[in-house]
């Protein structure tokens, strides 16, 4: 997974509780942990409940990095660099300014604390 660290290190969007950044190479082990957690998987999207191995997750991240109609962000706590989830804009129609939004908080310690509200601008 090749990432432009200059872009990944910047806070793309910040809120009171969370900030969005690009994904980094050192995020992969954390994401892999979420992708085998059925509690996370059943809430992340409507795909069949199947855990994904490292190769599949790397391919997904590489594909989204190159995609023109899909963008994936890391969700990090505002006060530190702790990765707690991901936000994804998919099926982007640039000319119509619409997309599907998916938000997943993978870290169970941060469930129920309002992180997704911060991602969409509520706080």
In tens, the pLDDT along 19-37 reads 888 888 889 899 888 887 8
Domain boundaries, given as residue ranges, for the chain:
5-119
CATH superfamily of 5-119: Gcn5-related N-acetyltransferase (GNAT) (3.40.630.30)
Confidence class for position 98, pLDDT limits 50, 70, 90: very high
pLDDT at 120: 61
For the chain, the average pLDDT equals 78
Q: How many CA atoms lie within 13 A of 117 on its CB side?
A: 9
From CA 95, how far away is CA 1, in angstroms rounded? 29
Predicted confidence (pLDDT) per residue in 45-59, tens digit: 666 666 667 788 788
Residue 62 in this model has a pLDDT that exceeds 70:
yes
Mean pLDDT of 63-67: 82
pLDDT at 26: 86
Query: The whole model's pTM is what?
Result: 0.75
What are the CA-CA distances from residue 115 to residues 15, 67, 99, 103, 118 (Å)? 9, 26, 20, 9, 5
Please check whether residue 17 is in contact with residue 2, taking contact to mean a CB–CB distance below 8 angstroms.
Answer: no
């Amino acid at each position: 997974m090749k990432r432009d660290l200059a872009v990944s290190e910047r806070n793309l969007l910040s809120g009171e509780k969370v900030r969005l950044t690009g994904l980094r190479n050192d995020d992969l082990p954390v994401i892999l942990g979420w992708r085998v957690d059925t509690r996370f998987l059943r809430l992340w999207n409507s795909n069949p409940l199947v855990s994904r191995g490292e190769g599949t997750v790397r391919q997904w991240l590489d594909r989204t990095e190159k995609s023109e109609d899909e963008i994936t962000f890391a969700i990090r706590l505002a006060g530190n660099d702790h990765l707690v989830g991901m936000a994804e804009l998919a099926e982007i129609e640039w000319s119509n300014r619409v997309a599907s939004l998916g938000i997943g908080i993978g870290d169970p310690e941060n469930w129920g604390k309002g992180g997704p509200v911060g991602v969409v601008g509520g706080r």
